[in-house]
Structure 1
Amino acid sequence: MEATRPGQRRGWLRFAPAVTLLLFLGPVGAGLVGAVLPAFGYLPALGGDGPSLDPWRRLAAYPGTGSAVGMSLWTGLAAATLSFTLTTGFAAACHGTRLFRRMQRLFAPLLAVPHAAFALGLAFLLAPSGWLLRVLSPWATGYQWPPDIALSPDPYGLNLILALVVKETPFLFLMTLGALAQVPADRTLAVARGLGYGRATAWIKAVLPLVYRQIRLPILAVVAFSVSVVDVALLLTGSTSPTLAILIMRWANDPDLAFQFVAAAGACLQLGVALAAILAWTGGERLVARLGRRWVMDGARGGAEGAARIATALTVAVAGVGVAALAAMGVWSVARRWRWPDALPSEWSLGNWAGFSGMAGGPAATTLIVGLVAAVIGLVLVLACLEAEDRAGRRPTSRALWLLYTPLIVPQVAFLFGAQVLLLGLGLEGTWGALIWAHLLFVLPYMFLSLSEPFRRLDPRYARGALCLGAGPNRVFWRIKLPMLTRAVAIALAVGFAVSVGEYLPTVFAGGGRITTLTTEAVARAGGGDFRVIGVFAVLQAALPLIGFLLASILPGWLHRHRRGMREGL
C-alpha cells in the first residue's frame, strides 16, 4: 500500500496518534516518577527533602512483606497459566463445533461483568452459609447449622485464583477468536487433519503457533493484572494472607503519613513483581517452545486429545461457576428470609431495593456518567487514530501498540500512587476531570483492541468509489465508513463502558474518597456482612455493563431498520 493516498488530506488527524500516546505515556511516566521519588525519601510536602533508603528498610522490616510478594506471584501466575491452558485446550478440542459457538455467546456477557461483582458472587457461593453448602446440606454434608469453616477467604489464595480464572478465561477466549480471524486457521487445521492428526493435536501443533503471536500482548496484560489486582484480592484473600497490592493500599490509607514513603516503595516493588512475573512467563514460553518443537517433530498423531477434553470440561465448569456467581447475587438481592439450609429463600421481597435511591443512587449515577464520558472520549480518540492510519496508508508498528497498552502492562498501583501525588500537587485530586482521565487510561486500550480490526477489515472499494464520485475524505468517513461500522462502534462503546464500571483502584486514587462509584461502594460494603445489601450493589454493578452490551446488539439494527442492505451487513 502506498505511503500517502492522493486526495486524502489528513489535517489535524495526523497528530491524533501522537496526542493519544502522549495522553497516556505522559501521566504514566509522571506517575512512576511520583512513586519513585518518595520511595527514595523525596517528598517535600511530608518532610522528605533528601535521598534516603529508609522507606525500603521499613518495607523490608514490615511483617508479611515477603509472604505478600509470594502470594502475588503465586496467585497471578497460577491464574494466568490456568486461564491460558483452559482457553487453548477448549479451542483445540472444540474449534468449529456447536459447543464452541455456544460458549462464545456465553462468554461475552460474562466478560462484561466487573471483577468485583464476580468476586462478591463467588464469596456468596463459598461462604459458610453460602449457596454451595446450602445445596449440599444436610443430605450430603450432614450440616444442620452453618459450619465453623471458612471457605472464603482462604490462606492459599485459591478463591482469588478461581475468580481470576472465571474472568480471564472469557477474555483470552475472545482474544483467541479475534486472532483466529486473522490467520488461515480453518485451512491449516484441515491440512493437519488430512495428514492423520487428531483434532486437538492438529490445532495445537499447527494453529496455536499462529494464534499465539496475535494474543501474546493480551496474555502479558493478564499476567500483569493478575499479580497486582486489588479489588478482587481485598474481597477474597482477607487480611491474614494479603497480596502486595493490598499491603500498598493499607500503607497508602494509613493515618500515619510516614507510611506514604513505604507505600511508594511498595509501589515500586509491585512494578518489579509484575516484571518478574512477565519474565517468568517469557521464560516459560521459551521452554515450552523448545519442548513443543520436539513434540511437533516426532510426528505423533495424538497425545493432546485427552488433555483437551479435560480442559473442555473445566472450561464449561468455569463458565458454570460464573453463571452461578451472578445468580447468587441476584437471589440475595431479592431475599427477605433465607434460613439455613434452604437452597432458596423462603420469602422473597423487593424491599432490599426500596432504599436504592438513598443507598446506591449517587454511586450509580457517578458510575453511569463517568463510564459514558470516558467511553465517548475513548471512541473519538480511537476513531481519529484509525482514520489517520488509514489516510496515511500505514499501520502502527508493534512498538506503538506496546506503548498504547502500557497502562495494562504496568501495574495500576505502581503508577496510580505517583499520579495521586501529582494530582494532589496540582489540586486536581477528587475532581471529575481527574476521575474521567484515570478511567480513560484503561478504557482506551480495550476500545482500540475492540475496534481496530473491524475498521481495518472494511472493504476499501466503498471509500474509493465515493472518492471517485467527488466526495471528500471527511464525507467518506461520516457517510460511508461510520455507518458501516455501526455495530463495531456500539460494541466498542459497550466495552469501554464496561471497563470503566469495573475500575476500582483508579477511582480510589483519583476520586480521593470524595467521589464513589458502584465498584468502590460494593467493595466497601462487602465487610459489612449483609449479603442482601451487597447483592443489590453487585447486581447493579453487573447490570450496567450487560445493559450496555444489550443496547449494542439492538441499536444498530434499529438505526438501519429502513436499509435492508445495512441490516444484512450488521
Structure 2
Amino acid sequence: MLRVFPPLTLCLFLLPVAAGLLGTALPAFGIMPGGGGAAGLAPWRDLWATPGLGRSVALSLGIGLGSAALSLGLALLIAAGAQGTRLMTWSRRALAPLLAVPHVAVALGLAFLLAPSGWLVRLVSPWATGWTLPPDLATAPDPWGLGAALALTVKETPYLLLMLLAALAQVRADRAVTVARSLGHGPLAAWGRAVLPRVTPLIRLPVYAVLAYSLSVVDVALVLAPGTPGPLAVEVVRWLGDPDPAVRMKGAAGALLLTALVAGVIVAWRLAEIALGRLARGWLTAGPRLGGRGALKGPERACRPVRNRFRAGVQPPPGTTVVRADRVRWRLALAAALPVVLVVTLAVAGMALWSVAAAWFWPAPWPSALTLETWARHLAGSPWPLWTTVTVALAATGLALALALGSLEHERARGLTPGRASEWMLYAPLLVPQAGFLFGVQALAALARLDGTWLAVVWGHLLFVLPYVFLALADPHRRLDPRWRRTAHGLGAGRWRVLLRVVLPLLLRPLLFAAAIGFAVSVAQYLPTLFLGAGRHPTLTTEAVALSAGGDRRLIGVHVFLQSALPLLVFALALALPAWRFRHRRGLRAGEVGA
C-alpha cells in the first residue's frame, strides 16, 4: 500500500501545476480550452498595448525584490545576533503566532495603522501634529507600494527565520561559531565566516519561494498597493476574470509574462549570489583582526572561546575579556526582531479593537464604547465563510498529512535517500506564480465538471498546503531513531501496529505542528478559492479582501480577528496537546522526541 503514496502525491500537486501552465499557455496564443479562438499572437499584441504595463511590472519588481531582500536581511541578522542567547529562545517561541497570522490580515491591519485617519495618526493628533482633520496624504495604499512591501516583510521574516533555524541545526552552528571565536573573530564576523556560507545553500529554495510569492501576491496588493495601475499580478487576475474572451486571452498572456518575470528574477538572484560569494571570498578566508573589537584579549586569545555573557551562570575563563561586541550583536538582533513583532501585533490588535467598537470618530485614539453587536450581527447573518474556511482547511490539512506521512514511510521502507530533485518538486507549486497556472487549473476543473464545488476548493488548497506540511514533517520523520521500530518488531508487532503505537506517538508534536502550519496556509489562501470556488464557497480571506474596498472597518475587524484567531488556536492546541498527553512520560514530553 505504501507504493501508492509517492505517485499519488505527485499526481495531486505536480500534474495540476503542469496542466495549469499548459491551460494558461494555450489562451495566451489564442486557443481557448474546450474549443474556440484562433491561434496567433493577438493576445500578446493586446498585452503590449495595455497602458501602464511598464508601471505594473515596475511595481511588482519593487515590492517583490524589496520585501524579499529586507526580510532575508532581518532573518539573517536575528539568527546571527541571537545565536546562543536567550533572544533565540524567545524568537523560537514567537514564530508560531507570527506564522499563524495570514498575510491579508496583516495587510488590512496595516491599512488602518498607516491610513491618514489611522491609529498611528490618531495617537499623535492633534496634540503633536496640530491636525484637526485627517491629512491629505496617500499612505494606505501609497503610490509606490511601500505598505505592501512592509506587510510582506513582516510576514516573510518569520518564515525565513524558521527555515534558518532548521538549517542552523543541520550545520551545528554553535560549534562552528565557538571554533571561529576561539581563533579571535568577533561574534558577527564568526557567524558570517563560519555559518553563513554553509546555511546559504540550505535556505536557497525557501528564499526563491519568498521571491515568487512577493512578486505575484494578489490579496496584499489589493489592500495596500496602488490600483491605477496595480502590480502585474493584480492586473492579470482582473483580466482573467473578465467576461470578454479577448481580455481573458490577454490575461493569460500576462500570466505567462508574470511567470517569466519570476523565473528571470530567481535567475538574477542566483547570479547575484554567485557574484557576491566571489567578491566576499577574500573576507571569508581572512584571519581575525588582532586586538579587534570582539576578539579575545590576553595570552589565551588564540585558544579560548569567548563565552556568551547572556547565558545564565556561565562566567568567562580567566585571562579573557568579554567585550562590548556581544552586547552590540544582541541589541542588533533585538532591533531587527522587535519591529516585526510590534507591526504584526499592532495590526491585529487595531482591527480587533475595531470589531468591538461602537463609535470611533476622528481623532479619538480609542473607541468611545465597546459592543459585540457587530459580532452578533455577522455571525448570525452569514456564518457560511467561517464554516467554509474551517472545513476546507481541515480537509486539505488531513489529506496533506496522510499523503506526506505515507510518502515518508515508503521512503523509509525502501531505504531511499531524497535528493535535490525531490526538493525542487516539492517547491514547484511555491515557485510558480499562482496566477500563472490557476487559470489553467480552473479550466481543467471546468472540463471535469468540478468547477465551483467544495472538492475543487479543497484540491486547490491542497496544492499549497501539501508542500508546507511535507517540509515540516520530513526532517523529524527522517531523524527518528530506527531502534524504536526494530525493538517493536522484535517484540512481535507488525508494521501497522508499530506505526500506530510507536511511530505516531513519538512524532505527535511534529505531526501536530505540521498540521497547524497546513491549517494556517489554507486559511490564508485567496486565489485558489477565487478561481476554483467560482464565488460559491466564500472564505474569511475572500470576504475580507472584498470588504477592504468598502468602509466598514468593524466588519473587516471581525474577519481579520477570525482569520488570525483560528490558526492561533490550532497552533496553541499543537503545542499544548503533546505536553498534556505525555505529562507523565518524561521521554515523550514536547520538545524532546521528534522536535
Is TM more than 0.5 here? yes
CA-CA distance at 1:557 after TM superposition: 2.6
Which of the numbers 244, 260, 282 marks the counterpart of 2:248? 260
Aligned to 2:271: 283
TM-score, normalised to structure 1's length?
0.95
Note if 1:194 corresponds to 2:182: yes
Aligned to 1:38: 27
The percent identity for this pair of structures is 53
Aligned to 1:480: 502
Note if 1:421 corresponds to 2:443: yes
User: Are residues 154 and 46 of structure 1, via their aligned partners in 2, closer, same or farther at CA, if it must alter by over 3 Å?
Assistant: farther
Matches within 5 A, 1:89-488: 89-301=77-289, 310=332, 312-488=334-510
Task: Give distance in 2, aligned partners of 1:292 and 1:502.
Answer: 39
Is contact 1:360–1:537 with CA below 8 Å preserved after alignment? no
Is contact 1:467–1:476 with CA below 8 Å preserved after alignment? yes
Amino acid at match of 1:518: L
CA-CA distance at 1:13 after TM superposition: 0.8
Deviates more, 1:484-493 or 1:389-398: 389-398
Aligned to 1:495: 517
Aligned to 1:531: 553
Is contact 2:81–2:332 with CA below 8 Å preserved after alignment? no
CA-CA distance at 1:390 after TM superposition: 1.0
> SS in structure 2 opposite 1:173?
helix
TM-score, normalised to structure 2's length?
0.91
> SS in structure 1 opposite 2:171?
coil
User: Are residues 562 and 347 of structure 1, via their aligned partners in 2, closer, same or farther at CA, if it must alter by over 3 Å?
Assistant: same
Task: Give distance in 1, aligned partners of 2:69 and 2:229.
Answer: 21
Write the deviation string for residues 61-120 of structure 1: whole angstroms up to 9, x where unpaired.
011111111111111011110011111112111211112211221232011111110100
Amino acid at match of 2:372: L
CA-CA distance at 1:22 after TM superposition: 2.0
CA-CA distance at 1:45 after TM superposition: 5.1
Amino acid at match of 1:353: W
CA-CA distance at 1:360 after TM superposition: 4.3
Task: Give distance in 1, aligned partners of 2:42 and 2:426.
Answer: 35
> SS in structure 2 opposite 1:355?
helix
Amino acid at match of 2:452: G
Is contact 1:336–1:349 with CA below 8 Å preserved after alignment? yes
Is contact 2:388–2:539 with CA below 8 Å preserved after alignment? yes
User: Are residues 344 and 75 of structure 1, via their aligned partners in 2, closer, same or farther at CA, if it must alter by over 3 Å?
Assistant: same
Is contact 2:79–2:333 with CA below 8 Å preserved after alignment? no
Task: Give distance in 2, aligned partners of 1:136 and 1:276.
Answer: 44
Task: Give distance in 2, aligned partners of 1:238 and 1:282.
Answer: 29
CA-CA distance at 1:472 after TM superposition: 2.0
Task: Give distance in 2, aligned partners of 1:56 and 1:241.
Answer: 18
> SS in structure 2 opposite 1:258?
helix
Moved beyond 6 Å, runs of 4+: 302-308
Is contact 1:40–1:53 with CA below 8 Å preserved after alignment? yes
Aligned to 1:5: none
Aligned to 2:11: 22
Write the deviation string for residues 340-388 of structure 1: whole angstroms up to 9, x where unpaired.
2222112111111111224441000000000000000000000001111
> SS in structure 1 opposite 2:200?
helix
Write the deviation string for residues 130-175 of structure 1: whole angstroms up to 9, x where unpaired.
1110112122221122112121101111111100000000000111
Task: Give distance in 2, aligned partners of 1:299 and 1:122.
Answer: 45
Task: Give distance in 2, aligned partners of 1:462 and 1:313.
Answer: 44
Amino acid at match of 2:530: V
Write the deviation string for residues 278-300 of structure 1: whole angstroms up to 9, x where unpaired.
01210111121112212113335
User: Are residues 46 and 523 of structure 1, via their aligned partners in 2, closer, same or farther at CA, if it must alter by over 3 Å?
Assistant: farther
User: Are residues 303 and 408 of structure 1, via their aligned partners in 2, closer, same or farther at CA, if it must alter by over 3 Å?
Assistant: farther
User: Are residues 143 and 303 of structure 1, via their aligned partners in 2, closer, same or farther at CA, if it must alter by over 3 Å?
Assistant: farther
Aligned to 1:514: 536
User: Are residues 350 and 72 of structure 1, via their aligned partners in 2, closer, same or farther at CA, if it must alter by over 3 Å?
Assistant: same
Is contact 1:200–1:308 with CA below 8 Å preserved after alignment? no
CA-CA distance at 1:257 after TM superposition: 3.0
> SS in structure 2 opposite 1:16?
helix
Write the deviation string for residues 402-425 of structure 1: whole angstroms up to 9, x where unpaired.
112100011111000111112122
> SS in structure 1 opposite 2:170?
coil
Is contact 2:144–2:226 with CA below 8 Å preserved after alignment? no
User: Are residues 297 and 309 of structure 1, via their aligned partners in 2, closer, same or farther at CA, if it must alter by over 3 Å?
Assistant: farther
Is contact 2:229–2:235 with CA below 8 Å preserved after alignment? no
CA-CA distance at 1:44 after TM superposition: 6.0
> SS in structure 1 opposite 2:249?
helix
Task: Give distance in 1, aligned partners of 2:141 and 2:335.
Answer: 26
User: Are residues 367 and 479 of structure 1, via their aligned partners in 2, closer, same or farther at CA, if it must alter by over 3 Å?
Assistant: same
Note if 1:57 corresponds to 2:45: yes
Alignment gaps of 5+ in structure 1: 1-11
CA-CA distance at 1:307 after TM superposition: 8.6
CA-CA distance at 1:310 after TM superposition: 4.7
CA-CA distance at 1:452 after TM superposition: 0.9
> SS in structure 2 opposite 1:156?
coil
Is contact 1:137–1:341 with CA below 8 Å preserved after alignment? yes
Task: Give distance in 2, aligned partners of 1:211 and 1:44.
Answer: 44
Amino acid at match of 1:25: L
Is contact 1:156–1:241 with CA below 8 Å preserved after alignment? no
Note if 1:559 corresponds to 2:548: no
Task: Give distance in 1, aligned partners of 2:240 and 2:380.
Answer: 29
Write the deviation string for residues 216-238 of structure 1: whole angstroms up to 9, x where unpaired.
11111001111000100011013
Task: Give distance in 1, aligned partners of 2:381 and 2:280.
Answer: 55
Note if 1:69 corresponds to 2:57: yes
Larger helix proportion of the pair: 1
> SS in structure 2 opposite 1:336?
strand
Task: Give distance in 2, aligned partners of 1:411 and 1:132.
Answer: 34
Aligned to 2:568: 546
Residue-pair matches, total: 558
Deviates more, 1:344-353 or 1:33-42: 344-353
CA-CA distance at 1:456 after TM superposition: 1.3
